Each structure stands twice: as structure tokens, then as C-alpha cells.
Structure 1
């Protein structure tokens, strides 16, 4: 099935609308399980960035598990707007030619008494068995990352916009 023809409002914009190949590439990047998470410091409004582990849960969608001790926890509680960058630099070549995905999102903390927490905990530990050491500590919280839009940079001259519908569809397990 071919993609519908979409006429860009700005013909100089080099970013294309996502096609099936771009969505598949973005899904592969999301399966890496780690990302850089950007957030805004509530004290001075400057950006901050943290390394996180995340997973696409079949029930809750994209999630991360973060400690109350991390600076991004207070930042996300104050302002849930965030962005996630996924993608690794390969062993060879120019790092700027390797695919990466930037997801603009909203963070939502799941309450400690979330009704599905036991199942969520079990699924998280299947993917991240080393989290057994800290997952039950009282300062750790599951945070849902609700995708808004994304930009896939697939390497030289390969940039694609993904909509929230694209992201929701690709994050269904």
C-alpha cells in the first residue's frame, strides 16, 4: 500500500513525513532499552539531560523507572515536558550518519498503589533483571513517557517526522 501524497507547507523543509520504512526504523531504535532524557531544571529553567533505561510495556506503553534522588525526578514532577533521544553510534563511520530518534513527550508518574504494579514490576524485571536490586526501594517510581511527536534522523539526507498516531501505533507490543 502506498503512502498518501502529502504536500508540504514549506517546500524548503527537508524533513519528510514518515513512511513504513521510517516507522520500522524508529521502532527498532526504541527497542534499544536506553535513552538520553532531556528535562528542564525547575530552579533555573535550564535544560538537563540524564541517561535512563526504558521499555515499551504492552499495557502501559513507554516507561522508565527512576529514583527520587535523580535530578530529573523533581524536574519531571514540576514540568512533565521532556524529550528522549534513542540511537547508538555504530563502531565505524561518522557518528552523524547513524540513525537516531528524538521523541518529544510528556512524563506521567504512576502512583505507588497503581493497580497493575505487580504485573508491571514482573514485566520490567524480565527485561531488566539487574533492577531487582533497586526496583522495590521506596524512592523508585515508574514513569510513563507519553509520546507527542518525533523526528527520525536516519543518516545523511534521511529525516522523517512521526506523529503521535505513528508513535502510538509503533509502541503497541
Structure 2
């Protein structure tokens, strides 16, 4: 097993310890909108999984335009400078998983393993599981420590050996 690069540790800490992200979508009439979404990570594909309601604006926005932004960040802590907070920003492509698709069971399991209290809602027809496929990744691991993460590096950090 090879030693991890420092950026991998920061990325893993964000993705494995934080459970919510900011999702940015675009409403064709109202412009950009940001929502809080709980997320899970598919450790086989590197995709993120969210569970959305048809009542949510971001759901309608993603159905019209699959391209979105997602940010996961470390919460602010007393005595710590906010400019140095680790965070990862992703450009993603949203893919809705049909309830009758073969992939639905696996996607549901990934989400409910992280959020078991929401398992009962995953079969409601007015909710959808959405896979967010990373297209571009940018990691800020501290003040002045920003870097682009190549998709191969993303996969190396989130998919176990």
C-alpha cells in the first residue's frame, strides 16, 4: 500500500466526516440557487448520491439542466480562521435513477447506509435518488492551498484499493 498524498487525507476527511453539502443549480428564470443537501458517496464509482423531493426547486432545476455545483466544507470552529477552512468544490452532472432501474437498489443502499433514518422515504414516488457524477474538482485544504484535483486523483482518494 502506498502512502497517501496530503490532499487525499483532506479530501477523505471532508467526504467521510461531513454529511451535508451546498448544491448550486440554475433556474432559467430566477438565476442561480443554492440548497443544502445531505449526500452519500458511492465508493465504487466516485459518484455522490442525493435524495430529492419533487417539491424542491433544485430538483426541477436539475431535471432541466443536469450540470450543477456542489461544495462540501468543514464547519467553522471557534478560534479558527474561516479563510483556511478546508473545502472541496465540484462541477457535477446529475443523473436521476429511475425507481425501476437495476441501479436503483445499489444507489438506495449507498444512501440509506449513510442515512438509515430516511430509508422509508426512498420508495416514495415523489422523491428521487440522484447520482452526481464529478466532472471537475477543486480542493482548498487551507489558506493559500488550492489545487485542481484530476478525476483520476479523485478516484484514487475515494475508491478503496
TM-score normalized by the length of structure 1: 0.80
Show structure 2 runs of 5+ residues with no match. Answer: none
Aligned to 1:81: 67
Check 1:119–1:103 CA distance in 2 against 1; reply closer, same or farther (3 A cut).
closer
Residue deviations 1:21-79, cap 9 Å, x none? 112211221122210000111224x1100000111123553111111111001101111
1:107 to 94, 112, 116: 94
Q: CA deviation at 1:133?
A: 4.2
Check 1:100–1:67 CA distance in 2 against 1; reply closer, same or farther (3 A cut).
same
Aligned to 2:29: 43
Moved more, 30-39 or 90-99: 90-99
Q: Does 1:56 pair with 2:60?
A: no
Check 1:59–1:113 CA distance in 2 against 1; reply closer, same or farther (3 A cut).
farther
Could you list the runs of 4 or more consecutive aligned residues of structure 1 that deviate by over 4 angstroms after TM superposition? Answer: none
Show structure 1 runs of 5+ residues with no match. Answer: 1-18
1:136 counterpart SS class: coil
RMSD of aligned Cα (Å): 1.9
1:145 to 128, 132, 139: 132
Count of aligned residue pairs for this structure pair: 154
| C-alpha distance in 2 between matches for 1:161 and 1:116 | 30
Q: Which has the higher helix share?
A: 2
If you compute each CA radius of gyration, which structure gives the higher value, 1 or 2?
Answer: 1
Q: CA deviation at 1:169?
A: 2.9
